[in-house]
Structure 1
Amino acid sequence: MAAAAGRLRTRLAAGWLRLQMSALPIGQCALAAGGAWFVANDLVGHARPFFAPIAAVISLGISLGSRLRRTAELVVGVSLGVLVGDALISVIGSGPWQIVLVVALAMAAAVFADGATLLVGQAGASAVLVATLLPPGDAGGFDRCIDALIGGGAGLLVAAVLPADPVGPVRREARALLDELAAVLDATAGALRDRDPEAASKALARARATQPLIDEMRSALLGGHEVTRVSPPLRRRRRELGRFAELAERADYAMRNTRVLIRRTYTALCDDEPAAPELADVLNELAVAVRALTAQLGRDGDRELAREPVIEVVQHARQLAGTFTPGPSEVVIVAQVRSIALDLLQATGMSRQDALRAMRGDPEED
């Protein structure tokens, strides 16, 4: 009973968190829908302008994406569906086979025109609405197109006046990606320390499953840039988004290098090759350095503070390599540690040349 109550509380807490995170997009959709209906019905004078609020909601959506393109696809799709539906239903009437024909022709026209998923879907959906809700011969195809344009415009206006935080979702996705990178490095260190090939195999599978995190961060970046385009007051956040774009690129490279490191660790353990147990400590330290970078992703954080832990990892790896003659796998592991460190330093804003100089311990140039 207690366990069931605990699961229920966990689900309720998760649901409440999702609701809090989606509160602004939901409010945007609701305001845009009401505003679009008011403009189309009360100001323009269109009867039953249901396409206006539909277009407003779809143009905004719950999540950010390519909103400007989506609005254009929405308006074109609705226009095609309405025009094809009006032209045919007024001649052939409405019924099951008429709906089949109208939907097929509207979607075929949309595929021919562009082929975008939203455009094609809206063309088909609009044709259905015309074929089922509007009486045959009811003029109004042009009005429905105007309604779609009003709805799309209302969505963009609400997004500009009540914009979402362009950086918050990007920061959240960046933290998730870096947390996973640190966890994978810790798991690899444990496998190396225990000489456990199965644990190394699991760490490799986990590293290979991180691509969706990278894709989600890039999607959040796209949405953030779009917010700054439609909302002039937020254009000053573009520089911060640029820093996160560089971090996303370097985190992607770091994860790729980590996969190479884990594959070599797995091979060494399966083939019973020697691997200095101190290398596991280096990997743990690298995970700590990744978490130091994650800790600096706050609004007022300074990523320069994350550089020193990374440089210390490189120095430790260099000192360790000088205490013994490394085998083939150990050479690869140390090389990948250096590559990951280089990626992390560049993620803090350093140039490649400055990062290499810091890793070598060279003094800074004036």
Structure 2
Amino acid sequence: MTSPSADRLRRFDRAMRRRLDLKIAATRAYNSVPAAVQIVAGVVVSYSISHYLLGHSVPLLSITVVISTLGFGRDARPRRVFDSVVGILIGILFSELLFTLLGSGVWQLALILFLTFVVARFASPSAAFAAAAGVQSMMVMLLPDPDGGVLTRSIDGLIGGLVALAVTALVPRDPRGLARRDAGRLLSTLAESFQALLDGLRHGDEPAASLAVERLRRTQPLIDDWSSALDSAISIARISPFLRRHLPSLRQQARVLQGLDLAARHLRIIDRRVSFLLRDGIERPELAALLGEFAAGIEMLGASIDDPARFDDAAAAFEKIAPRLAPDLIVPGAPVTETIIVLLTRPLVVDLLVASGRPADEARALLPEV
């Protein structure tokens, strides 16, 4: 039998998990609203053109092309939408031509679906793209012939594709918010990693440094997500009259991303060295103080995403660190193991200065000779 306290703990844990699941689901639904608005706007425009302007009674393909090409994926770049539109239109036209030549039937359906998959995989590496092309080809095969002739469906598909491209620019999703959220997740993980690393150095605690290593290993997927969202934001801002004014700040954010990407790579190397060093259980307050300054500077650099005035604060923090990055200045008479850690921070501070807006040559010139 289990104790009443253990049962209460299990019930509490299940309740917390349900609340967390509901919060995640609600956040996902809320974040999907801009994409849903964009898709609905595209569907309404596409349907109206095909049905009311051209007189097509059931313009199903004009609607499905809009939904398939826009979708709810993170990558909302116009180039991706264009590639999807072209591929699906090729699939529709290809299917209609084969349908005209071969007629209908089970073997014709199987052959056309197979050939559509082959052509779609040739045109794009995306598995979802091939599936969407296959669905469109089956609609061509199974739907009754429209009043305007077989190629009417190709016209509907073309209208849907053009509308999808138009709403990408005129009803943009504005993925800047998604990019900022991804940036926040990365900065939070870096802050947690620094905290564990500093605890290890201050107390001679090797497990704390190992925890920092584990946390830093989680940064690459966060960097990839941020990069994808930022690429989409920049691509959309280039063509959208409503978002073009944000291009300078998005490019600044891209510079910060590049700097933090390089910083995370450097920190993984430094953390592994520190973890090995702390096996002796000895405190290293000098190294903790040095890396604490880096942590504060990176926090300022992250704040500059929302407040560009903080770029100068971050640059000033790193400019203060750089001239002291010589082993004899940080830990006089340090053994080789600690000297290496100080030397590893030199390329780190250069990359962070560049991310803060300083030229690379000027950043390197601040470093002392060793």
TM-score of Structure 1 vs Structure 2, range by shorter chain: 0.7 to 0.9
Q: Which residue of 1 aligns with 2:340?
A: 332
Please point out which of 221, 225, 239 is paired with 1:212: 221
Please point out which of 70, 74, 80 is paired with 2:80: 70
- Post-superposition Cα deviations, 1:202-240, rounded to whole Å, max 9, x if no partner, equal 322321221111111211121012211221242222211
Please point out which of 86, 93, 104 is paired with 1:93: 104
Distance verdict in 2 for CA 1:222–1:311, change over 3 Å: same
Q: Which residue of 2 aligns with 1:106?
A: 116
Identity of aligned residues (%): 31
The 8 Å contact of residues 257 and 336 in structure 1, kept in 2 or not, is answered as yes
Please point out which of 295, 298, 316 is paired with 1:287: 295
Alpha-carbon deviation of 1:201? 3.0
Q: Which residue of 2 aligns with 1:31?
A: 41
Distance verdict in 2 for CA 1:340–1:182, change over 3 Å: farther
The 8 Å contact of residues 156 and 230 in structure 1, kept in 2 or not, is answered as no
Please point out which of 307, 314, 318 is paired with 2:315: 307
Q: Which residue of 1 aligns with 2:153?
A: 144
Aligned AA (1:50): L
Segment of structure 1 superposing worse, 144-153 or 113-122: 113-122
Alpha-carbon deviation of 1:66? 5.5
Distance verdict in 2 for CA 1:11–1:35, change over 3 Å: same
In the aligned structure 1, how far is the partner of 2:338 from the partner of 2:276?
11
TM-score of the pair, normalised by structure 1: 0.85
Structure 2: 5+ residue runs without aligned partners? Answer: 1-10
In the aligned structure 1, how far is the partner of 2:122 from the partner of 2:24?
43
Matches within 5 A, 1:246-325: 246-270=255-279, 272=280, 276-299=284-307, 301-314=309-322, 321=329, 323-325=331-333
Aligned AA (1:202): L
In the aligned structure 2, how far is the partner of 1:258 from the partner of 1:67?
31
In the aligned structure 2, how far is the partner of 1:63 from the partner of 1:109?
23
Structure 1: 5+ residue runs without aligned partners? Answer: 361-366
TM-score of the pair, normalised by structure 2: 0.84
Aligned AA (1:287): A
Distance verdict in 2 for CA 1:68–1:227, change over 3 Å: closer
Q: Which residue of 2 aligns with 1:48?
A: 58
Aligned AA (2:237): T
Distance verdict in 2 for CA 1:319–1:110, change over 3 Å: closer
In the aligned structure 2, how far is the partner of 1:178 from the partner of 1:293?
10
Matches within 5 A, 1:110-129: 110-113=120-123, 117=127, 119-129=129-139
Aligned AA (2:104): G
SS of the counterpart of 2:361? helix
Aligned AA (2:46): A
In the aligned structure 1, how far is the partner of 2:129 from the partner of 2:26?
33
In the aligned structure 2, how far is the partner of 1:209 from the partner of 1:235?
33
